[in-house]
Structures are given as structure tokens and as C-alpha cells.
Structure 1
Amino acid sequence: MKHFSVLVLVVASMLAASSSRAQFRDVGLGAGIGFGGIIGATDDLANNQTKFLARAFVRANIVNGVQAELGAGLGRMAGVNAADATRGNKDGSLSVSQLVPVDARLLLSPFSFEGWNPYLYAGVGVVHYDMENVPGNADPAVKTQGWVPYAPGGLGLQFRLDDQTMFEMSGGYNYAFNDKLNAITSTSQPNGTKKDAYWNFLVGLSVAGESGSADRDGDGLTNREEKELGTDRNVADSDGDGLSDGEEVHTTKTNPRRADSDGDGLNDREEVVQHKTDANKSDTDGDALSDGEEVARHGTDPLKSDTDNDALNDGIEVNRTTTNPTKADTDGDGLADGQEVNQYKTDPLKADTDAGSVNDGKEVAAHSNPLNPSDDVPKKPEIKVEVGKAIVLDGIVFTTGSAVIDPQSEDVLVQAFNTLDQNSDVQVEIRGYTDNVGNRKANLRLSQRRADSVKAWLAKKGIAPSRMGTKGFGPDNSIADNSTQEGRQKNRRIEFFRAK
């Protein structure tokens, strides 16, 4: 009893000290067999002999670190009667019992190491004894065979040979709850122990299938989960996409049996790690281009629907306008592709949409129509005249006393022509004036002829005569002081009066 109590205390302390780090190998149903010996542990016998023991068992995992075991064995316990041994009569007092122990045990692995595994065991059971050689001082009240309850406890080591096979070594103490195993009792042997016991040691092999909760390939999925999913429990990354099956199921929610879950041309790891795209959505940014197309073919950003910020999304540029989705102004005309398509209706592939010699951007800046080639030639300098108002055509000079236009007047006359030519709806009255020197009637006639000369010049250039009227006012409506030469020069003038 003393030996058993010590062993129970050791086992209990190790059970209490074990922590969540303790991991018994996660296995399914298994079995094993061991061979070794028995040595009696009782004062009833002297010279306890080592006899053969064989034991077979089946095991099942309960939780990580704990297994249940059912086993049965066959062995012998032998020794010389202690009282006779002191008298030297060893042969005549030999006690031999055949033992058949049957028990249930719990195995605990307090620690886990690579390739090997220590464990403790304790249990309860019954042992059948059958006296093959009864000693001379056997208690006549004890039957030569029967069943005795007992409790085994001990230590063991497992060494991994492969995924299913372990080499095992174990040893323990087996405490019987009565004194009948060798037929010598405290009644027949006053100095003997009151309870029988024996030591045993075994070496052997155990095999076990994997538990459904095991993770053979270390990918974060149990064997049971892998079977349900159809993944390979021997390969951590069944589809070879660079993500373990467990990552795909628990983290990225992708298909662990398909390298490219969304079929966009990028494998799941490329999407998750490299491009940060959605591995379950073929078009992450919703621009009508798959993520794979954007990365491999177009060089666009699969996370940004409008890569070049031109107000056209990448899909429209590739499939509809055929513009460059990575260049905001495909034709280089100074207008973004989106402006051309949505605002100005110009061709984003053609810098000068109307082929009028000025590119679209310059036309927009100049407020001309980029769809009308006729306005591409810049307007010539003209004279701005408001309806109902007159403006002096400063710089028109005539030969003294005549209506002949001096050549130096050309620049001003050209501007007058431009005004009428570029504004076809304008109608004017050309007004002639003189200073107050000389006869009034003569000045009226001279001013009329000069107005007519200007009209004739413009008509000759192509302005319709019907758009121009003339009138001579002589010295009337002076705008300066006729008493000075400078004032008289200003009063000798031609005016445009815009009638329409």
C-alpha cells in the first residue's frame, strides 16, 4: 500500500501541474501490444522472480492530452515463501501465480516534444489469479483461483516511428485490494503484507488512426473539416495559391480548392497579399474590368475605378472610348478625356476634332467651337461698335480738299472691314465731317464725298453696299475746338454709326 500511495501522489501532482501546453498526440482509435515482465512487490515472498508479461490494449482520444485505454494481459508472479526462505527451503516453498489483469486507464501527456511523448497512467480493474504452484504455508481459506480488484499506475514513453506507429516503453505499480494473489495471507504469514502488489514493465508498439480533430498538414483545418471541404489533408495549401487552406476558410473566405477563387486571373494570394484586392470579387473597384485584366493587360489600378482621374472609369476607356486609362489626356490636346467625352463632345483620340488647324484645348480656351472648323482661324482685329452708337475711325486721312483716301489709312480701313466681315448682321451709317474752315455748303459736299469714298473702299473689298449708308455732316457736331489746328484735325473725321 505504501508504494501505491507514493505513486498516486506522484501521478496526482503531475496531473495538477500539467497546463494547456500539454498535448497528447491527437489520434483516433488505436491499439497496441507490449511484452515485458512482472516482479512481485510483497513481503509474503522472498527472492521475487521476474516472470513474463504480455498485454494488449485499445485506446481512444478524449481531449488533447488525455486518452482512455482498455487492456488485458497475461503473466506470472513468482517467489519463494519468505518464512521458508529463512530456513533455506527455497524449492519446496515456491509460489507461482498466473495473472490475467483486465483494466481501464486514463493516460495523460503533461508535456509534448518533437518525436517523443512522455505520459502518466492510472486506472482500475480486476486481475484473475490461478495458483500454479501453492507454497507450503498457503492459507487454506484462500481459493487457488479467483478475481481480485486492483489499481494500476505508472509512467510511459512513446517514440514516434511514423504518423500512425509508436514504439512504447512503460512501467508501473499494480496494487491489489486483498492478499490473495499468492495464497499467502497475513493469517498464514504474520510478517507478510496485508495486500498484494506487483511491478511490471513493458515494451511494444502501438498504432492509431488520426482523429477527425487532428490537423495532419498543419494548415489550421482539422481532418474532418478537410474531408467536408474536399481539400487535401496532406497538403497545407491544396490549390497551391500561396494561402494555406485554413487561411482561406477562416480569414480570406476564399475557396481552398481553387487557386483563383473569383476567376479574375489573379490567384488568391496575389490578391490578398500583393494587390489588396477582393479575392472573392473579380472586379474589386467595379469599373467593368477584372482585377487580372487591370494588372496584367492594362496596367491600371484594380482598387481605383478611374486610374488616371480623367472622369472616365477604366472600363469605359478600354471598352468604349478606347482611350488610354492610365493617361488623363490621351490625345494631348489639353483637355482630359472625360471633359472631351462628357462636356465638349469632342474626340478624345483626336487633338483637333474638327480638323480646323487649332487643337481642341486651345479652341475651348479661346471660346471657339472645337466641333466647327470655320472658327479655327483667329479673328482679325476689328472695331467694336455698339448698336445706336457712333465710333470715330481714327486714322483715316484724305488728301487736302478732296475725297481721296491717303494710303496711310489702310490699317484703320482694314479693321472696319473686319468688323463688317466677321459680323454679318451688322449694318452701319458711314458719317463724314469737316472742320469749320471755308464755305459750309462746300464742306457738306466734301464730307458726303469722303463718306462715299469709305463705303466704296469697303464695297470693293466685299462688303455688301446694302449694309452701309452714308451721310455728310460738314462742320456740324464738332468734337474739338476749331480754333486750334489740333482741334480742327480731330473734327475732320469719319464715324461708324451702328444702326443694327
Structure 2
Amino acid sequence: MQRLFLMVVAGWISLGMNFGSVASAQDDARLGLSIRTPVLAESGSPAVLLSPVAGIKKLAFTITRKSDGKQFLFDVDGLKKGEKREFPFDQAEGTATYTARFDGNWQDGSQISFGIEFEAVSMGPLNIRIDKSGVDLDNKSLLLTSTRPVAKVEIRVEGQNGTVLGSGTEQFDGAAALRPLRAQWNQQPGTVGRIEVKVYDMFGFWAGMEVRPFTVEPWEDRIHFGFGSDVVEDAEKPKLNATLKRIEDALRTAQEEYGDSVDLRLYIGGYTDSVGTRPSNQDLSERRARSIGAYLVKQGLKLPVYYQGFGEDVLAVQTPDETENEQNRRTIYVISGQTPSITTAFPRANWKKYR
């Protein structure tokens, strides 16, 4: 969407001209004179707009571009009171200064004779670029550039189910074109599914862009450890090798879509059943999650790895205390560019970085 501005111009009177008995500096106002500027070069041209407050019998005017002397000539044979007419003229992209001379007669026979000077702006497309590697979901900010000076940036953030998680407006007051700008937003907890960005230039035109962070649905696995042990057993390594391939496939897909600089991390959550004390299970689950991360890194995983244990605090199957249950001895994996939100599965955010 673009907004169109009309610039009302002030007239000047050349004292060397012979206006006749009724010429006045108010003729421009009586003509309802304005200039259509700025405009987008791809969708229109600057124009002189007329909407007179009284009928015009005849009007001729000449627009002269000061930079090269090019002239545009217009003749109007009759214009009714309140009738709207526009007279476009060609202009390359950029800003140009013009003079215009108006001569003619009102329907009552009185003379029209005055001149004006004005500027017109014709702009190329407003293009914005958001490097997805510059989208920082944890710090709620993104990096962008624009082909025109930026007045402000508006951001709207939605969750994966479409609910609004947050928004933000950053004022830049004409920051230079192509200068990298960091815009931030405020957000409630939740996994980001879509970021809508609007960049406004100094004339009120705007361009929009949508960013969808790369996401992989969390998945869980059951890796068997010896009683009270955090050592990965040989029999479990094929499972972890399959997990490594799944992670590498997801990373390859993300790089194809976002480029090699895509920012992704692996989060590993460890869980136990209710056999043992809560503190010991908390410690055990964290050590096991770390061991899984260490194994994946040793096998060549390139992603940063974060781990956390949740012990028996998040049972998949509710059981009495001191109850063995294989479904509760599990591992959950998340590949994301943002720290997992606090949820039922992840009731805490005390992630530790393995590397």
C-alpha cells in the first residue's frame, strides 16, 4: 500500500508582467491548484491538479524544469466550477524544481496571470531486505535495510497458531538508505511462527515483508541407560545416529531455504521416571541429556547444543512415586533459532550450553 500526498503550492507574482486590472496573487487558490508529489515512478507521474472555485473560460500554462529547461505546455478550453482535472508531466526518478506560468480568463472575463515555483519527487520502488541470519528471536530484534531513508518500522509477531504474541514500532526519522537498521519488538512467551514487518519512508509510503522462522516439530526418543548411569551404551548408538541424521537433514533444509548463515540450535531435554529422589532424578536427567549432546557432537553435529534435565517433574504417564515406567524415561529434541518457551514439557528455561 502506498499513501499519496498532495503538496499545495504558494504562488509568486512576477512584477514585470502585465496582469491586467484584476490579476491577483490569489489566482492559484481560486484555481484549486496543487501538485501531485511525491509519486512512485512505476505507478504514476507528478501532475498539476486543478479544481477551480469559479468557471474558467480558457487557460494555458507552461511548466519548465529548471535543471534542463524542458517545457510542458497545456491548453484548457473551459473548466467548470469544482471540476477536477489533472495534467501529468514526465520526470525521471529523483527531485526536480519547476516553474510554471498560468495565463487565461475566468468566465466573468477577468484575467488569470501568475507564476509558481515548486519541487516534485518521483521515487523508485521501496525495497527492503531482511537477512534471516539477522533475525534474533531471543533478543526480539531484526536487522533490515531499505532503498530509501526510513521514517519508522512497525513489527507484528504471531505464534504458530496465529495468535498475536507481540509488536513494536521503531522511529528512525530518516535514517539513510541502505544503512543497516536494528528494529525491536516486545513479546509475550511463545514460539514465533510469523513476523510481519512494515517499513515506512519519509513520505509515508511503505513496503511490507514477512519472515517465518524455520521450525522443526519437537520429537522425543527413548534412550536406554544403565541404572543410575549417564553413559551411552553401544546398543543405543544406532538410535542416536538416526537422530543425528534427522538433525542434519533439518539443517540442510534450513540452509537451502535461509542460506548457510541460518541460526539454529539443538535443545535436548532429559526426563526420568519416579524411581529415586526428586533431586537425584533431576541430576541424573541432566547428566543423561548432556551425554546425548556430547555423543552427537562427537559424531560430527555442527549445531550449538543446549541441554537441561527435568527429572521426574514432567511425567509422560502419571504414576505413584517410586514407579518404574519406560515412557517416562525419555528425551525430547528441539531444533530452533530461539530458546524454547516455557511450556508443560519445558517448565524451566535453565538451558546449559554444551559447546
TM norm structure 2: 0.29
TM norm structure 1: 0.23
The higher relative CO (CA closer than 8 Å, separation ≥ 6) is in 2
Greater strand fraction, Structure 1 or Structure 2: 2
Greater helix fraction, Structure 1 or Structure 2: 1
